[in-house]
Structure 1
Amino acid sequence: MNLKKTLSAAVAAAGLVVVATSAQAAITVDVYGDYGNYFEDFKKDITKAAGDYKHNANDWGGHHNKLTLNLATGSGAADMVLVDTGMVGGYINGGGLMDLTSKFAPFEKNMVDFAVKQGQNEKGQQIAVPVDLGPGVAFYRRDYMEDIGYDVDEVMATWESWLAYGRELRDDYGVYLVSNADGIARSIIYGTVEAGNGIYTGPNNEVLIENDRFKFAFNMAKQLREEGLDANTGMWNDDWYNGFKEGTFAMEIQGAWMLGHLQGWIAPDTEGSWGASNLPNGIYGTWGGTFAAIPTQSKDVAAAWNVIEYMISPKAQLAAFDEWAMFPANKTVHANEMFEEEIDFLRGQNARALFSEIANNVIPVQPGAYDNIAETLVVNTALQEVLADGRDVNEALKDAAQQLQKRMR
C-alpha cells in the first residue's frame, strides 16, 4: 500500500495544500525481548510492507507497564504493540485496543486454534492476533534418562511414574527432578482447564481458585518441595543457568522457545545432552507466546495492520522461528521441511514435529479480564506461601479466592 500516494490524493480532494514530506509519518511500534532484534533485522521487509516505522524496545516489565499507563490515560501508545500471553486477558477485555475481527478473518483459518481464542475478548471479538506460541515441552537430560536405562515415555506416562523417577534420581544420583516446583503447578493450572472455563474464572465470572485443579497443582508442588525433588531455584538467574550447564536438575518444563535459549546462550556446551518430551500425564499445555494489537490511539491503523499481516505471513513466521526459535502461530508453515530437520542440540531428535503436535492439541481457553490480578494473587503469592512457608493449601487458596472476589467487585 502506497500511503503517501493515498494520503496525498485525499488531501488534494479536500482542497488542501501541504508540504509533501508530511504526507507519510513513520508509525511507532512498541516491542519487548527478542522482538527488538526482530524489528531491526527485518526492517527492510517490514518497511516494504508497511512503510517507515520506529520501534521502541523495552524489557518485559517496562513494556507492559508503559502499555498499561498508555491505555489507561488514553495517550502515548504506539501505533502497534506486542502483548505477552500472560497479560493478554486483561488488555483485550480492558478497552483501549481495536477490534481486529474483520481484518483478521481471512487469516484465522491459518492460525493455531487455541491461540486465536486467546486473543478474543469476552464478546468474541478478535482484539489481539497471535504471532508466536509457547507449546509446553519437557526438556530432559538424556544422561539421566536413556543413558541410564529409563524410557522417557514410561517416565512421563503418569504423575506417579514421574515422581517415582524423581525419587530414584534423588536417591541414586543426587540430582533434582526439576528446577522449581512452581513451574509444575503452573503447568497443571494452565494445562488442565475444565471445558468451558477460563483459567481462574468461569463463564459467568465465578471464581474457580478453590476447585480440584488448583488443589492438585498446589499439592503436587508442595510434595515436590517437601520430598526434595526440586532445586528451588528461580528463573533467569545464575543458579538457574548453572543448573542447565552442570546437570543439577534433570528436567525443565517450559515453552518450546526454551530450546533457542539453551542452545544459543544458556548452555551451548551441553549439546547432545538434551531431549524433548510431552508433559507428564498427557498434558497439552502452553508456556508463553506473543500477540500483536493496535491501540485505538493509533494514528495509522492501515500501516499498523500491515505490520501485523507481515508478522503472521509464512515468510516472516519461518524466518523468526529459524533465527530466534519463535514458534509459528501460523500452522500452515508447520508442514515446512524445517519441521522435519533433526536438531543436533537434542541429539538428532526431530523435536519441531513434537512442538507442532502439542500446539495443535492444546484446548482453547477463554482469557478473563481478571487473569492478571488472579495470577498475582494465586501463583505469585498463595503458591509461594505454600512452598516457602508451608502454608496449608486449602487455606491459601481460600484466601486468594476471597481476595480475587473483592477485587472483581
Structure 2
Amino acid sequence: MKLKTLSLSVAMGLGLATAVNAADAQIRFDGFPDFDSSLKVLLPEFEKETGIKVDYLMNNHGDHHTKLTTNLATGSGAGDVIVVDVEKIGPFVASGGLVNLSEKYGADKYAESFAPYAWEQGKGGDGDVYGMPVDLGPGVMYYRTDIFEKAGIKLEDAIKDWDSYIAAGKTLKEQNVQLIASAADVAQAIIFTTVPEGEGLYFDKDGNPVVTSERFVHAFTVAKEIRDSGLDARITAWSNEWYEGFRNGTFATQLSGAWLLGHLNNWIAPDTAGSWGVSHLPDGIYGSWGGSFLSIPTQSANPDEAWKLIEYMTTKRDVQLKHFETIAAFPANVTTYDDPMFEEGIEFLGGQQARLLFADVAKNIKPVAPAKGDHVARSIILENALMEVLDEGKDIKAALADAERLIKRRTRNL
C-alpha cells in the first residue's frame, strides 16, 4: 500500500506527504451491537473516500459504557470515536473527557439538520456540543399481530389508555400469554414520556430531585397493577429469557424504541417475521426511548480523522438512511424524513409502513434536558425503588421518598 502511494505521488509531483498520511491514518470506533452491522455497510465507502482506516470494538451496551466511564476517568483506553447512549451523555459531558465539537469543529453549523430535542441533549452546560446525535429512539409498542388476532384484541382498544392496556393483558392471560416481559418497562415508559415542561427526567431546573411527584407515583402504580395481576413475565431485558420470549411468543407486547426492530429482525427473532406490528405507545403518550450520540474523547490522538467519521455518519443524508435501513436506527438528521424510503413497507412487520409512524413520534417528542445526576437517579429509581415495590411489595410513596433521600446524598458532590 505504501509503495503504491509513493509511486503514485512521485508521478503526480506534489502531495506526497498528504497521500502517505491519508494512507496511514487509522482510528478506532467503540460501540455496542447492532452498530457493527451498520459499520460493515457504511465503512467501505468512508475508507475509500478518505483513506482513513477504521477498526471497531464492540461490547454489550452495559459493558461498553462501564468501560468508557473508566477510560474517561483515567484518560486512556478509549477509541477515537465513541458511541454514547442518551442516558450517559449528560454525565460523560460533565466528566470533561469529551472534545468540544462546537469550539474545535464548528458543529453548530449543523444544528438545523437535527431533531431539536436530540441536539439539546448533546450539549454541555456551556451550550456547546459534545455529542453529535446519530440516531433517535422514538418510543413505540411492538406487538404480536397473530396473538392479538387469536385473542380477539383490537389494537386501537388495547392502546387507548393504561386501563385498556391492562384489560388486554387479562384477555391475553386467558390464552396463557403474558402482556409484556416486565412491568418495569411500563413504569419507564410513563416516566420518560410524561415529563412536564421545564423539568428533567429526575430533576427540576434547579437540580432538585422530582421523583416523589405524581409522574413517578402514577408510573409505579400502573406497573404494580400489572405485576399484581400476573400480567408480566418478570423477564429482564437483554437476557436470554427475553430473547426466547420474543421467539416463542411468551409475551405479546414490548414497549421500546424504534431501534428494537433492527435487533428483532437481524438476530433476536428473525424467524418471527410477519408476526409483528408496531404502534404508538398506550395512553397517547409520545417520548424518546433511547438514542445515540457520537463523541471524541479528549485522549484521542486522531481527533481530526475522528471528526470526519462523525460528520460522515451524522450529516450525510444517504449515510443516515443506510444506517436506518440496516439496523432500524431512526435518523437523528431530519433532512432524511421526506425520503421515499419512509413509505416502504417493512417485511418483518407484515408490510406495515412503520417508518412513517416512527417519524410521527419523533416529530412530537419534546426536548428534555439531561442532568449530570441522571445516571445516578435512574439506577436508584428503576433498579432499586421500583424493584422494591414490584418484588417486595413496598409502599410506593415510601419507596419514592427513600429514593429521593438517596439521590440527594449521592448527587451532592457531582
Does the alignment pair 1:402 with 2:409?
no
What's 1:368 paired with? 371
TM-score, length-scaled by structure 2: 0.89
**Displacement of 1:262:** 1.9
Q: Is residue 140 from structure 1 mapped to residue 139 from structure 2 by the alignment?
A: no
- 2:36 corresponds to 1:36: yes
Does structure 1 residue 77 correspond to structure 2 residue 41? no
Match of residue 340 from structure 2: 337
* CA distance, structure 2, for counterparts of residue 346 and residue 54 of structure 1: 33
CA distance in 2, matches of 1:239, 1:400: 29
Pairwise CA distance, 1:360:
1.4
One-letter code aligned to 1:142: T
Report the Cα distance in structure 1 between the residues aligned to 2:21 and 2:281, rounded to whole angstroms: 54
Q: CA deviation at 1:80?
A: 1.9
The answer to whether the Cα contact below 8 Å between 1:79 and 1:298 also exists between their aligned partners in 2 is yes
Map Cα deviations across residues 315-370 of structure 1 (whole Å, 9 max, x no partner): 21111111222211112112211110112222221111001111111111000101
Unaligned segments of structure 1, at least 5 residues = 5-17
Q: For the structure 1 residues 219 and 350, does the alpha-carbon distance in structure 2 shift closer, same or farther, using more than 3 Å as the test?
A: same
Residues in 2 aligned to 1:207 and 1:328: alpha-carbon distance in whole angstroms: 32
How far, CA to CA, are the matches of 2:411 and 2:359 in structure 1?
36
Where does 1:295-314 land on structure 2 (aligned, <5 Å)? 295-312=297-314, 313-314=316-317
**Counterpart residue number, 2:11:** none
Inter-CA distance 245–197: structure 2 relative to 1 (3 Å threshold): same
Partner SS, residue 338 of structure 1: helix
Matched, 1:45 2:49: no
RMSD (Å) for aligned C-alpha atoms: 2.2
Equivalent pair of 1:176/1:250 in contact (CA under 8 Å) = yes
Question: Unaligned 5+ residue runs, structure 2?
Answer: 6-16
Alignment CA distance shift 1:216-1:350 (3 Å): same
- Tell me the distance in 2 between the aligned counterparts of 1:192 and 1:19: 52
Find out whether 1:93 has 2:94 as its counterpart.
yes
The one of 192, 203, 206 equivalent to 2:205 is 203
Deviation at 1:149, TM superposition (A): 4.0
Cα shift readout 1:159-195 (whole Å, capped 9, x = no counterpart): 122222222222x323221111010011011111111
Q: Which residue of 2 aligns with 1:384?
A: 387
Aligned residue for 2:113, secondary structure, equals coil
The secondary structure found in structure 2 opposite 1:223 is helix
Count of residues in correspondence between the two structures: 392
Q: Which residue of 2 aligns with 1:119?
A: 122
Contact 1:50 / 1:307 at 8 angstroms: preserved in 2? no
Please tell me whether residue 323 in structure 1 is matched to residue 326 in structure 2: yes
Counterpart pick for 1:226 among 225, 228, 232: 228
Instruction: Call closer, same or farther: CA 1:360–1:161 in 2, change over 3 Å.
Output: same
AA paired with 2:284? G
Report percent identity of matched pairs.
Answer: 42
Q: In the alignment, what sits opposite 2:352?
A: 349
- CA 1:93–1:157 in structure 2 vs 1: closer, same or farther (change >3 Å)? same
Q: Which stretch of the first structure deviates more once superposed, 134-143 or 149-158?
A: 149-158
Structure 1, residues 207-235: CA drift from partner, whole Å, max 9, x if none? Answer: 11111111111111111100111111112
1:243 counterpart (236, 242, 245): 245
- 1:62 and 1:246 mapped to 2: Cα distance? 28
